[in-house]
Chain A
Amino acid sequence: MRYVDEFRDPKLIRQASDEIGRLANPSRHYRIMEVCGGHTHAIYRFALADLLPSNIELVHGPGCPVCVLPMGRIDEGLSLVEAQQAIFTTFGDVMRVPGRHGSPLEHRARGADIRMVYSPLDALKIARDNPDRHVVFFAIGFETTAPSTALTLKRARQLEVANFSVFSNHVTIVPAIRAILDSPDMRLDAFIGPGHVSTVIGARPYAFIARDYIKPVVISGFEPLDLLQSIVMVLRQLRDGRAEVENQYGRAVPWDGNLPALRALADVFELRPYFEWRGLGFISQSALKLRPEYAAWDAEARFAMPSVQVTDPRAAQCGEVLKGVLKPHQCKLFARECTPERPVGALMVSSEGACAAYFSYVHRRAAAATA
C-alpha cells in the first residue's frame, strides 16, 4: 500500500478501507463525485483509489476555480493593461492560465505591469501606493475567497480609493452541482461535499440534493482518513436507502455557514443571470457580479471591455474530463501537447485540477516505474 507509512494512523486507514469493502455491494457500480479540487488533489496524492474496491469510482467535480474559468475572461482582464495602462493584480494560480495571447506571466515577460498578490487587500494597497495608476484586481474563486473580495471592496469604498477596480470571476458551487445533476449523462450516486466552501455557506444549501435528487451528500475534511470515512458514510446511506446531508468535517461547518461572510457577500455582490463555465457551458445564476452601488469599483461597469469568446482547442477534452466522462489520461493531448510545464487546458494548470494531479502522481509514478 503506497504512502501508507505517511498516514497518521495506518490502522484506522485499514479499518476504514475494510469497512468500505464490506459496505460496497459487489453487484453494483458506485460513482461518487468529490466536488472540491482540494479533495481531488488529496485523492491522487495519497492514491486513495488503491484503497477502494474496483466498483467504487471517484468522479472529479468542478471545484477548481481556475479550471472552470473560460479562456476569454483572461483576455478580457488583460485588455485593461493596455487600454487603461493599468496594473493587473491577481492570485498566483491565475498567473499561468493561458489566454489567447499568453498567460499573465507571459504578458509580464513582454513588459506588462502584472503583479501577483496573496490577498485582495494587497491589490488595494498597491492602488493606494500608486495613486496615479489604475489597479485592477482579477478576482476568482468560490465562496471561500469571495467574502475577502467583498470586504476589500467595502474598504475601497470607505476609503474612496478611485483608482481601484475588481474584475469579478467569482462563482458559486451549488448551481454547478445542480447543472451536473440536471445533465442528461449524469450517472452519479452521491457527492462528497467541499470542506472549506462549506465553512462559509454551511451545509443547508446542499439540502436540495438529498431532498429533490435523492442523492447522499457528505461534507468531508481533507485528510486521507477524512475522505475514507466520508465514503463509508456515503455507502451506509446508499445501503440504507437514505439520502441526507451529513457532515464529516465536524465543527468547522455550521449548518447556516459563516454569517459575517454571507452578509459581506450579500452587501457587495448579486447573482449574474448566467455565466459560462469551461466544460459545463452557461449556468444560470452561478456567478457573482458587483451590485450597482459598487459600480465605481466594478471593472466591467467602468470600462468598455471586449467580450472575448474563445473556444478551447478542438483536441483538448477538458469538458469531458470536468464532467467525469473521460479520465485525464484519456484526453488526446494528455502528457503530449498538454503538460504542467506547458498547459493547454486549465485542468493542467492548478495542482487542484484533475489533469495536473493525475500527471504529478499517476503519470510520473508510472513513468518512473518503467524507466
Chain B
Amino acid sequence: MCLAIPGQIVELDLSGHLATVEVSKVRRTINIDLLDPPPAAGEWVLIHVGFAMSRISGGEAAEQLRLLKMLGEDAQAMAELDGYEFGSP
C-alpha cells in the first residue's frame, strides 16, 4: 500500500482517465486523473495503489527500482502492479 512503483507511460486510453504503463517489461493499466496536465507517452511516473501520483525523471525511476530491490520490496511491487484488475474488462 505504501509502495511507490515507477512506471513509464506507454499510451493513454481514449477515456483520458487511464494509461498503459510499463515496469520491467510488465504492462498494466493505471489511472492518471491525479496528474494535471496528464502525462504523455514516454514520461515516467510514481504509482501508488493504481494511480500515478507524481512525475519523475528516467534517472529517478531507475533509482526507485534499485531502492525497491535493496529494500527487498521489488517482488512485492511487481505483484502489486500485476494485481491491478480495474483496467481489464
**Measuring CB to CB, which residues of chain A are less than 8 angstroms from any residue of chain B?**
6, 8, 37-38, 41-42, 45-46, 64-65, 91-93, 117-122, 124-125, 140-141, 144-145, 147-148, 151, 196, 199-200, 222-223, 252, 258-261, 264, 351-352
A141 to B33, CA, bound (A): 19
B49 proximity list for chain A (CB < 8 A) = 91, 118-120, 141, 145, 148
Chain A neighbourhood of B10, CB < 8 A: none
- Determine the interface band of chain B, counting residues with CB < 8 A from chain A: 20 to 34
Q: Is the CB of A260 within 8 A of B2?
A: no
Q: Which residues of A contact B41 (CB under 8 A)?
A: none
> In the complex, which residue of chain A has the Cβ closest to the Cβ of B50?
A119
Q: A37-B2, A117-B83, A144-B53 are in contact. List 17 more A-B contacts (CB 8 A).
A: A42-B67, A45-B70, A119-B85, A119-B86, A121-B50, A144-B2, A144-B4, A147-B51, A148-B48, A151-B31, A196-B53, A258-B53, A258-B54, A260-B35, A261-B34, A261-B53, A264-B33
B41-89: which residues lie under 8 A (CB-CB) from chain A?
A: 46, 48-51, 53-54, 56, 60, 63, 66-67, 70-73, 80-81, 83-86
Find chain B residues with CB under 8 A from A124 CB: 86
> What's the Cα separation between A120 and B33 when bound, in Å?
14
C-alpha gap A260/B71 in the complex (Å): 30
A339 and B71 alpha carbons, distance in the complex (Å): 20
Q: How far is the CA of A42 from the CA of B71 in the complex (A)?
A: 7
Closest Cβ–Cβ distance, residue A71 to chain B (whole Å):
18
The docked-state distance in angstroms from the alpha carbon of A140 to that of B2 is 10
* Docked complex Cα distance between A125 and B83 (Å): 13
Known: A141-B2, A260-B35. A148 touches B50 (CB 8 A): yes
**B interface residue numbers (CB < 8 A to A):** 1-2, 4, 31, 33-36, 46, 48-51, 53-54, 56, 60, 63, 66-67, 70-73, 80-81, 83-86
B52 to chain A, nearest CB (A): 10
- Give Cα A119–Cα B50 distance, bound, in whole angstroms: 5
Assuming the contacts A37-B2, A252-B56, asked whether A151 and B34 have C-beta atoms less than 8 A apart, the reply is: yes
How many pairs of residues, A versus B, come closer than 8 Å at their CB atoms? 104
18 contacts between A and B (CB under 8 A): A38-B2, A65-B1, A91-B49, A117-B83, A118-B83, A119-B49, A121-B50, A122-B83, A144-B53, A147-B51, A147-B53, A151-B33, A196-B4, A196-B46, A200-B53, A222-B67, A252-B46, A252-B60
B23 to chain A, nearest CB (A): 13
CB atoms of B1 and A93 under 8 A apart: yes
Q: How far is the CB of A353 from chain B (nearest CB, A)?
A: 11
User: Across the interface, do A122 and B84 meet the contact criterion of CB distance under 8 Å?
Assistant: yes
Give the residue name and chain of the B residue nearest to A92 (CB): B1
Give the contacting residue for B51; candidates A46, A64, A119, A222; CB below 8 A.
A119
Q: Which residue of the partner chain, among A37, A38, A222, A252, contacts B54 with CB atoms under 8 Å?
A: A252
Give every chain A residue within 8 A of B4 (Cβ-Cβ).
Answer: 144, 196
CB < 8 Å neighbour of B66 from A8, A45, A119, A122? A8
Minimum C-beta distance from B50 to chain A (A): 3
Alpha-carbon distance A351/B75, docked complex (angstroms): 14
- Compute how far the CA of A339 lies from the CA of B40 in the bound complex, rounded to whole angstroms: 45
Q: Which of B4, B36, B53 has the most CB of A within 10 A?
A: B53
| B residues less than 8 Å from A222 (CB atoms) | 67
C-alpha spacing A351/B2, complex, angstroms: 10
Residues of A within 8 A of B66 (CB): 8
Q: Is the CB of A121 within 8 A of B56?
A: no
Which of B1, B34, B48, B56 has the most C-beta atoms of chain A within 10 angstroms of its own C-beta?
A: B1
Q: How far is the CA of A118 from the CA of B30 in the complex (A)?
A: 11
